Amino acid sequence: MLLCRVHQAVCALPIRQVIETLRPLPLEPLASAPSFVCGVSILRGVPVPVVDLGLLLAAEQVQPGRFVALRAGAHTVAIAVSAVIGVHTLGGGAERELPPLLRDAAGNVVRSLGSLDRELLLVLDSARLVPDELLARLLSPGRPS
């Protein structure tokens, strides 16, 4: 797992979904995007939506220290995080299924919860960060500005 810090939480992303980590890039805001999409950046010549993981998870904007480019289904998405901590193998007891009360609140983005050195660990599903229909709308050439 690639571990990233977002506010007080540590988020884990399956390493097979990570393309690269990079310094924050310039953003082009999109008026029609949901509040958690901070805009679009050009990543290796391709427009990629950037999700503020702080807004998506905690309704509080993150001060981006790094972007993480991810495979999200058939698309690429970048997430803005406070910091990248590193790669870590989670032990068998590190992850627990989401309690029923939190399943809807997590919006299917959080796959499971856990703890890592007494810190909250959110294991994320990058394929659900931005739904395919929203990605198609954000990246369509004829989108309204």
For residue 28, is pLDDT > 60?
yes
Digit-coded pLDDT (tens) for 82-108: 999 999 887 665 556 666 656 555 457
Q: Which residues contact 82 (CB under 8 A, 6 or more apart)?
A: 4, 5, 6, 7, 54, 62, 63, 64, 65, 66
Q: Is the pTM of this model over 0.75?
A: yes
Nearest-angstrom CA–CA distance, 24 and 46? 15
Digit-coded pLDDT (tens) for 126-140: 766 776 676 666 666
What pLDDT score was predicted for residue 2?
Answer: 94
Range 2-139 has CATH code 1.10.3720.10: no
Nearest-angstrom CA–CA distance, 97 and 51? 24
